[in-house]
Amino acid sequence: MMNSFADAVADIKDGATLIVGGFGLCGIPEKLIFALRDSGVKDLTIVSNNCGVDDWGLGILLANRQIKKMISSYVGENKIFEQQFLSGELEVDLVPQGTLAERIRAGGAGIPGFYTATGVGTAIAEGKEVKMFNGKPYILEEGIVGDFALVKAWKADEYGNLVYRKTARNFNPLVATAGKVTIAEVEEIVKQGELSPDQIHTPGIYVQRLLQGQDYEKRIERRTVRKAN
C-alpha cells in the first residue's frame, strides 16, 4: 500500500501512456486524477472510454492542458475537449466502444492484435490491414498496453484483490490488467481472508499500488428524471 496519492503517481513522467477506468463519471479514479493534476505531468496519452466533463474526471487534466492525445469511444459531454480538438491542440483517436474494450482486454492478455468486422468500410478502417474470413472482410486492431493503469474499486484486501460495485465495474477490470504498473484506489481495505474468492473481480497479481480514498463525490454525468404519472 502507498502512503499518498501524490507518491503513487510520482514516477508518471511527461509523455506517458495511461489507461484509465470508468464510464462517464461512474467508477473513475477521482483521487488519482487530482494527484496527476497536482503533479503537473504533461503530454499524456490517455486511453479511456471518455474524457469526463469540463470540471470533473479527466476533464480536469484537459483544462490544465496535460493531455496530448485521447484514445476513447465517446467525447460528447466535454466542451473543452471540443475546443482543443478543433484548434488542433488535442490529438484524438476515436474508437468504437466494443473495439476499445477488446483492445484493452487483448493488451492485458498479451494478445498483440485481433480482427473485427466493426468499422469495415468506414474511416475507422483507413490504413489498417484487412483480411477475409468466411468471405467477409475484417480489420486488424492492435491491443493496448499502458505505462500505467489507473482504476477505482469499491473494496480491496491487503494483497490488492479488488471488488467493484455494480456499474462501477464497467471498464475497470479490463484496465487493471493492461498497465505495466496498475494503481488502484478503493473506498475500503479489509484484512486478508475477508473477501470471498467468489467476490473478487480483479486478482491482486495485477495490482502494484493500492490506496484508500475518502469522501468520494461520485457525480452523475447527466441527470435525467422520469416524469411522474
Greater confidence (220 vs 135) lies with: 135
Average pLDDT over residues 1-21: 94
Output the nine-digit C-alpha cell for 66: 496535460
Domains of the chain listed by start with CATH number: 13-113+144-212 (3.40.1080.10)
DSSP E strands in the chain: the ranges are 17-20, 44-47, 67-72, 91-94, 113-116, 130-133, 136-142, 146-157, 162-163, 179-190, 209-212
pLDDT tens-digit readout, 35-86: 999 999 999 999 999 999 988 999 999 999 999 999 999 887 788 999 999 9
Confidence of residue 129 (pLDDT cuts 50, 70, 90): very high
CA–CA distance, 21 with 19 (Å, rounded to integer):
7
CA–CA distance, 181 with 184 (Å, rounded to integer):
10
